[in-house]
């Protein structure tokens, strides 16, 4: 049994909230650089050049890549051989978010009640997903999620008879409906299987997977490649102004499901697909 104090988790979350909002992960950054070289539409190429310049300024001057610094989505994978000491885990995580968004001068975008709409003024509470895994470590993923793209995401409860073609059409239709509203070029996370809520969680988690890592399942890997190609043929383009770069990547995660269902979730993220990962 290994003891980990929640102060370490709080400090890590604080630092990761700032890090994720100021510096894009290398996989996303490299995709934007490559897209600028490959884009053939003049306006699309100009938009990508501006996005690249924006990233470089944010990194050099330690300012947010985007003014929407998102709602903090936290994935915690806790080894079953870990004993947590200190504050209640969720309190520690939320304190980390609170300190990160305050000390990092990041925009506070969370309202305490979805209908009364009063800002909590410190970007808490976070959305926290906790999973017990083998081992004696804690793996933390912080993924600030802006809502321009979040609002364009969907869950589709398909019938088993809809099959693979139905899944692909659901993804393409969601991207078409999103258009320029999701601040393309976008990253598309897809969850297939499970239940209503499980497929949505799969899609969210898919956005945190390295864009250079393809699915280990051959049929899913082929679907990821096909969907990326078809999405980029929609001519939505950078900023929604036309071009071949509508998406930087498509990541799909799957889970077993019921014989009567085919749940599919499509979680869209803008080009600022932010995530930071640490292991304690």
115 — pLDDT class (breaks 50, 70, 90): very high
| Residue reference for tokens 């970007």 | 123
- Model pLDDT for residues 132-161, shown as the tens digit of each residue: 999 999 999 999 999 999 999 999 999 999
- Model pLDDT for residues 159-193, shown as the tens digit of each residue: 999 999 999 999 999 999 999 999 999 999 999 99
Share of the chain above pLDDT 70, in %: 100
46 — pLDDT class (breaks 50, 70, 90): very high
Q: What is the pLDDT of residue 251?
A: 98
Diameter over CA atoms, the chain: 58
Alpha carbon separation from 70 to 18, 74, 170, 180, 250 (Å, rounded)? 11, 12, 26, 18, 21
- Model pLDDT for residues 204-229, shown as the tens digit of each residue: 999 999 999 999 999 999 999 999 99
CB-CB contact of 119 with 34 (8 Å): no
Token duo for residue 77: 């994978």
Per-residue burial over 16-33, b if 16 or more Cβ lie within 10 Å, else e, is: bbbbbbbbbbebbeebbe
Sketch the domain layout of the chain as residue ranges: 2-21+65-145, 148-273
Q: How far apart are CA 267 and CA 97, in angstroms?
A: 23
**Cβ atoms within 10 Å of 161's Cβ, excluding its own:** 7
Enter the pTM of the model: 0.95
**Residue 104 preceded by cis peptide, ω within 30:** no
**Average pLDDT across the chain, whole number:** 96
| Residue reference for tokens 């898919």 | 206
Alpha carbon separation from 126 to 8, 122, 130, 146, 276 (Å, rounded)? 17, 10, 12, 13, 15
């Amino acid at each position: 049994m290994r003891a980990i104090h929640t102060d370490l988790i709080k400090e890590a979350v604080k630092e990761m909230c700032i890090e994720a909002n100021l510096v894009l992960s290398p996989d996303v950054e490299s995709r934007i650089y490559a897209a600028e070289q490959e884009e053939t539409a003049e306006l699309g190429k100009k938009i990508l050049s501006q996005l690249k310049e924006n990233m470089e300024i944010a990194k050099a001057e330690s300012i947010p890549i985007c003014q929407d610094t998102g709602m903090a989505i936290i994935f915690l994978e806790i080894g079953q051989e870990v004993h947590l000491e200190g504050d209640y885990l969720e309190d520690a995580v939320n304190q980390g978010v609170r300190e990160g968004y305050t000390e990092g001068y990041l925009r506070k975008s969370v309202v305490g009640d979805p209908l009364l709409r009063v800002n909590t003024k410190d970007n808490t509470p976070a959305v926290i997903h906790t999973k017990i895994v083998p081992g004696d470590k804690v793996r933390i993923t912080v993924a600030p999620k802006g809502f321009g793209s979040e609002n364009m995401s969907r869950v589709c409860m398909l019938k088993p008879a809809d099959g693979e073609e139905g899944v692909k059409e659901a993804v393409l239709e969601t991207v078409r409906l999103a258009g320029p509203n999701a601040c393309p070029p976008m990253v598309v996370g897809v969850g297939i299987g499970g239940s209503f809520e499980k497929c949505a969680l799969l899609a969210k988690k898919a956005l945190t997977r390295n864009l250079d890592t393809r699915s280990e399942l051959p049929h899913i890997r082929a679907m990821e490649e096909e969907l990326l190609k078809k999405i980029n043929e929609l001519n939505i383009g950078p900023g929604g102004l036309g071009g071949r770069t509508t998406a930087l990547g498509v990541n799909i995660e799957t889970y077993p499901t019921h014989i009567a269902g085919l749940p599919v979730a499509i979680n869209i993220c803008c080009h600022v697909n932010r995530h930071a990962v640490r292991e304690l």
